Structure 1
């Protein structure tokens, strides 16, 4: 285990292009049970609805059948409910914070509407300039929330990106893409791609004056990490911009069959949410956008970035998928450099829920270090 500068023994396991020992089946099962009972976004539970009409299946997951469209078929406690009608009830509604000057960090933010018809917008974060003439790296960030909740202006991400912009000295573009089910996928992917192309065009005065789009980074958590993967694939096939680095924070991937170290319930939950957000997906949850390791998925060696950081929580039900993604990438002919980070004892996107904990601070340090690593090159 590498020791991170400025700390003693770090509980955040780090490795670059190396593999690590796998957990025992009993450890994996215990971790999955903790995840499935946790309040975080991936800690969802299949809604149990008793009925005399039997059951139906949706993307291979058993659901109650009932003629009443208001029947709840799936629930993520304190986050959202899916109804048989296809509607959603969003229970997780963090306050939306206005842009402006953040007194704690000195970072200034503003909102820019990119498409009035679709509502696509971004929130930019400009750190306090130590050297006004020096251009800053640009980081395009995609928020998480299972493609169905959260936004760029929510307190969850506003309070995360202000300190990130300040610590890394990076100009952040946070994308507010459209949400499912009102706007099924690929709407979120298309919005994210449009925002990425807008960013590199440097039409905004902040980007033109202070941003160095030649030093471009992509980052996202959970569903946002999934979006990062899609952006890298699009950049490779559509002649996209040069991307120096990609940061996948607890990325959300899945598949129809549980893999080693993954509890079957976690795979089922992922499949349910994905099929709700993307009902037209080819292959269901084995669509290459959700399962990059599915047969026939585009080769990972095509990923259009030079460096990648993949971070996971040891107790996260997604950790096995994240690790498999990292190991497949490093085993491929991809010519970049990848780093794996695993926060011991932590669940899904813990750094958003408890940013002041030691593991969250150390993860932030690694993200900052990753961004700054190429500054002297």
Structure 2
């Protein structure tokens, strides 16, 4: 590393350059969409631009099986990828493969959102993009959506930083229910939620150097993504703090959204995820936890683990529909 670059922490995922740009040291392979019916993927997919200026868009997934044997309008899952707000994209191969299987297994249309990354675009830019995607979907004339989606059966879902994003988009959406019609959110699925705080938890200390997501990398990504000068006690990082928390929870309880929190015991963020789920329970927001063995984001690497997760999500959605009826 040259003298004109400054690391965000030891072993950082990227470094900031004096001109405001950054150099990323972790890269992920990317996959193109597969709109061809003759492809060997379980879902068709295509990219659509939302905002030319911000260079944001979505990748839409349509399960092939439902095209062969129509089953009526399909549930909609709006998915936000992980990467600590500084890495990855909707086209990252891990994300692409996961969304392919998610759409096929759940018989759902998946809209995977490509949002702006930090540090070039610090929070709340990603939240703004996540919300803009909802409004785009709500008014879109894209035939993959208008012909296949049941807009009254929508779920927000994210992995890691994407789960953080899904939660904050849900908070905003709870104030704009009328403006989002006919889009109706039924629940929020938080997969290995990326959250933090200043005081270390037991799992953070015990698992500080275990796996790819180390404590130093967590700190580095928060330093790069939070507003300049904000600490890890900012509500973007630590959702159980903040003066407006009671109002947020009251709104989520009032609209009747159910929340699914998933986590792994080998993830250094497990204590925070369980604390978040406990907070939801104490505030009267209906929620369900799914916990297992493994590491942060394991379902993006392990197909068997992914299938187990998809089965639980499918059950969550099925029970949710019964609950709403």
Give the alignment's TM-score, normalised by structure 2: 0.85
Q: Which moved more, 1:168-177 or 1:267-276?
A: 267-276
In structure 2, what is the equivalent of residue 308 of structure 1? Answer: 259
| Deviation string, structure 1 residues 179-220 (Cα, Å, up to 9, x no partner) | 111122211111110001111224221111110110000110
In structure 2, what is the equivalent of residue 230 of structure 1? Answer: 168
Within 5 Å, which residues of 2 pair with 1:316-335? 316-334=267-285
- SS across alignment from 2:174: helix
Whether the 8 Å CA contact 2:28–2:93 is kept in 1: the answer is yes
Q: 2:296 aligns with which of 337, 348, 354?
A: 348
In structure 2, what is the equivalent of residue 254 of structure 1? Answer: 196
Q: 1:162 aligns with which of 97, 100, 104?
A: 100
Q: 1:298 aligns with which of 226, 245, 250?
A: 245
Give the Cα–Cα distance (whole angstroms) in 2 for the partners of residues 307 and 76 of structure 1. 38
Within 5 Å, which residues of 2 pair with 1:5-20? none
In structure 2, what is the equivalent of residue 287 of structure 1? Answer: 234
Q: Which moved more, 1:296-305 or 1:182-191?
A: 296-305
Within 5 Å, which residues of 2 pair with 1:82-121? 82-83=15-16, 85=18, 87-100=21-34, 101=36, 103-121=39-57
CA shift for structure 1 position 166: 0.6
Cα gap change, 1:111 to 1:255, in 2 (>3 Å): same
Give the Cα–Cα distance (whole angstroms) in 1 for the partners of residues 49 and 60 of structure 2. 11
CA shift for structure 1 position 92: 2.7
How many pairs are equivalent?
304
Whether the 8 Å CA contact 1:255–1:267 is kept in 2: the answer is no
- SS across alignment from 2:105: helix
| Deviation string, structure 1 residues 254-310 (Cα, Å, up to 9, x no partner) | 1122245442967665343213112336x5211112111114242233335622110
More helix by share: 2
The alignment status of 1:217 with 2:143, answered yes or no, reads no
Q: 2:315 aligns with which of 339, 347, 369?
A: 369
- The list of structure 1 runs, each at least 4 consecutive aligned residues, that deviate by more than 6 angstroms after superposition, is none
Larger radius of gyration: 1
- SS across alignment from 1:361: helix
Give the Cα–Cα distance (whole angstroms) in 2 for the partners of residues 277 and 217 of structure 1. 25
Q: Which runs of 5+ in 2 are unaligned?
A: 209-213
Whether the 8 Å CA contact 1:288–1:297 is kept in 2: the answer is no
Give the alignment's TM-score, normalised by structure 1: 0.74
Q: Which moved more, 1:317-326 or 1:239-248?
A: 239-248
Cα gap change, 1:295 to 1:202, in 2 (>3 Å): closer
CA RMSD of aligned residues (A): 2.5
| Deviation string, structure 1 residues 22-45 (Cα, Å, up to 9, x no partner) | xxxxxxxxxxxxxxxxxxxxxxxx
Give the Cα–Cα distance (whole angstroms) in 2 for the partners of residues 365 and 331 of structure 1. 27
Whether the 8 Å CA contact 1:288–1:298 is kept in 2: the answer is no
Give the Cα–Cα distance (whole angstroms) in 1 for the partners of residues 120 and 79 of structure 2. 22
In structure 2, what is the equivalent of residue 243 of structure 1? Answer: 185
Give the Cα–Cα distance (whole angstroms) in 1 for the partners of residues 282 and 40 of structure 2. 43
| Deviation string, structure 1 residues 65-111 (Cα, Å, up to 9, x no partner) | xx93324342557xx22247464322332222111148444311111
Whether the 8 Å CA contact 2:116–2:129 is kept in 1: the answer is yes
- SS across alignment from 1:110: strand
Cα gap change, 1:203 to 1:284, in 2 (>3 Å): farther
Q: 2:4 aligns with which of 52, 69, 78?
A: 69
Cα gap change, 1:176 to 1:185, in 2 (>3 Å): same
Whether the 8 Å CA contact 1:81–1:89 is kept in 2: the answer is yes
Q: Which moved more, 1:68-77 or 1:309-318?
A: 68-77
